Structure 1
Amino acid sequence: MIVISIRKIRRSWRICLCAVLAGGVLGWSVANFAPGPADFVRALKVMVGWDGAGEAFRRQRLTDITADVSTYDVVMLGDSITEGGPWTDMALDGRSIANHGISGDTTLDVLARIDVTNRASPSTIFLMIGVNDLLRGRSRGFLDRMEDIVDRLSGNGRSLYIQSILLTGLDGGWPNAAIAIANDAVARLCRSTPRCTFVDVNAALTADDRLMDEVTTDGLHLNDLGYARWSALIHDILAAPAGK
Structure 2
Amino acid sequence: MTRVFDRFFYRIAVSIFCCSLACSWGAGQDATRFEKEVTELEERARERGISKGGIVCVGSSSMRMWTPRIEQDLAPLSVVPMGFGGSQFSDAIHYFDRLVAAYEPRAVLVYEGDNDVAKGKTPVVVARDFLDFVRLCHEQNSEMRVYVISIKPSIARASVWPQAVKANAMLKAICEEDERLNFIDVAHALIGRDGVAKERYFVEDGIHLNDLGYDRWARAVRKVIVPNEIDFE
Give the alignment's TM-score, normalised by structure 2: 0.77
Q: Which residue does 2:5 correspond to in 1? A: 11
User: What per-residue deviation string (whole Å, max 9, x for no partner) do you get for residues 28-70 of structure 1?
Assistant: 9x99xxxxxxxxxxxxxxxxxx9xxxx97x4332112233353
RMSD, aligned α-carbons: 3.2
Q: Which residue does 2:207 correspond to in 1? A: 220
Q: Which residue does 2:178 correspond to in 1? A: 193
Spell out the pairing of 1:16-165 with structure 2 (5 A cutoff).
Answer: 16-19=10-13, 22=16, 58-67=34-43, 68-69=45-46, 70-72=50-52, 73-85=54-66, 86-90=69-73, 92-93=75-76, 95-116=77-98, 117-139=100-122, 141-154=125-138, 155-165=141-151
Are the equivalent residues in 1 in contact too, given 2:74–2:226 (CA < 8 A)? no
Offset of residue 101 of structure 1: 0.8
Are the equivalent residues in 2 in contact too, given 1:87–1:98 (CA < 8 A)? no
Answer with 1 or 2: which has the greater Rg.
1
Alignment gaps of 5+ in structure 2: none
Aligned partner of residue 207 in structure 2, secondary structure: coil
Offset of residue 226 of structure 1: 0.8
Aligned partner of residue 80 in structure 2, secondary structure: strand
Q: Given the superposition, is the C-alpha separation of residues 91 and 105 from structure 1 closer, same or farther in structure 2, using an over 3 Å criterion?
A: closer
User: What per-residue deviation string (whole Å, max 9, x for no partner) do you get for residues 76-110 of structure 1?
Assistant: 111001100021343612x4322111111011100
Q: How many residues align?
A: 212
Q: Given the superposition, is the C-alpha separation of residues 20 and 225 from structure 1 closer, same or farther in structure 2, using an over 3 Å criterion?
A: farther
Give the alignment's TM-score, normalised by structure 1: 0.74
Alignment gaps of 5+ in structure 1: 1-5, 32-49
- Answering whether residue 227 of structure 2 is matched by residue 240 of structure 1, we say yes
AA in 2 matched with 1:230? W
Query: How far apart are the structure 2 equivalents of 1:144 and 1:91?
Result: 28
Q: Given the superposition, is the C-alpha separation of residues 25 and 112 from structure 1 closer, same or farther in structure 2, using an over 3 Å criterion?
A: closer
Identity %: 20
